[in-house]
Amino acid sequence: MSIKPLIILPDPLLRQVSKPVERVDSHLLKFAGDMLDTMYDAPGIGLAAIQVGEPLRLVVIDIAKEGEPQAPQIFFNPEIVATGEGTNVHEEGCLSIPDYYAEVQRPDTVTVRYVDKDGKQQEMVADGLMATCLQHEIDHLNGVLFIDHISKLKRDMVMRKFKKLARTA
């Protein structure tokens, strides 16, 4: 497995809508493993393929707490098919927007349909951190960033900061 370079804001690739995965094969499973290695190295709890430059509908997540065994999950073509009535607020960050965190309000539960690593259609009902993480990563597949869920004023400040950093890099 190998660690991939992360795409960082303001790279326009982050706004691209990802293409569906046609079929799960050994090449794609190896790529998903590389994504997990990249996520763990960063460190993070979720990563979308677009964040490493591949516009594919593929997400990896591991919300295991520090000190617990790793519990990686791979989602091909994930889509939210239902959301709960209530909402939760979590402080979110993003590997593509380093060192910036903001509270984001999202539905407290989601039902996600996806294809697993064996190519089988699955459905999962998630709440808490897993629901937030799935929504955050699926947003990436649609060209949406977590900063799109905060005030325009804060979002504009973040964009200016990262554009300035990109110019000086």
Q: Report, as residue numbers or ranges, the catalytic residues.
A: 137
The whole-angstrom separation of Cα 76 and Cα 147 is 24
Please give the sequence-ordered ranges of beta strands (E in DSSP) within the chain, or none if there are none: 46-48, 58-61, 73-83, 87-94, 97-107, 109-115, 121-127
The whole-angstrom separation of Cα 109 and Cα 121 is 20
Is 131:88 a contact under the CB 8 Å cutoff?
yes
Closest CA to 1 of 52, 35, 49: 35
The whole-angstrom separation of Cα 129 and Cα 10 is 26
